[in-house]
Amino acid sequence: MTFPHPLTAWFWLLYFWLFLKASLFSTSGLGSLPSLHADLLARRLASDRQFAEALTIGQLSPGPNGLWVVSLGYLTAGLPGSLLALLALTLPPLLILAIERGYRRVRSCPQRNPAFRRAKPPHRRHCLRGSGSFPDPPRPFVRHYRPRRSCRGAMALKNLLRIMFQTLDI
């Protein structure tokens, strides 16, 4: 197997990035085919024959359609290439799981509850209106609330993203 580039850390980083980019922006098993085909052929890292062999192996093997990417990694760069392709293929779903877990933490944060923001301290009536009457029971109110660190970090990240993607009317 001959490589057009020397086997340096930059080569493997570029190789991983090409596979990761293709798997991040694809929606199905064969969705990464156009991106990988354009990128790998432009850099002479793969040939049309290797793509055809990888697609054939992917169609013949049982399991998801996207596993052809791992065989393409093996055909183009050997065992390290297949491991990098497998890692690039599994990172996007794991990223979604991490985002979902963070969202669950923010969703349960009391600061997002509109009732928490409208809450006012209970009115205390110190005098009794008549003999035998009792003061009104206090309304529930959270005093000295300090959000958990995870909520504060998530809220700060949300505000930062809002500022970054906000359109400015000039």
Residue 137 has a pLDDT of: 55
Residue 148 has a pLDDT of: 56
| Calpha distance 85→70 (Å, rounded) | 5
| Calpha distance 36→21 (Å, rounded) | 9
Average pLDDT of adjacent 10-residue blocks, the chain of 170 residues:
63 91 86 91 92 92 86 92 93 88 74 55 44 53 54 73 63
Q: pTM for this structure?
A: 0.60
The gap between the terminal CA atoms of the chain, to the nearest Å, is 56
Domain ranges of the chain: 9-107
Instruction: Give the sign of the dihedral formed by CA 71, CA 59, CA 38, CA 44.
Output: positive
Residue 127 has a pLDDT of: 42
| Calpha distance 160→87 (Å, rounded) | 29
Residue 99 has a pLDDT of: 87
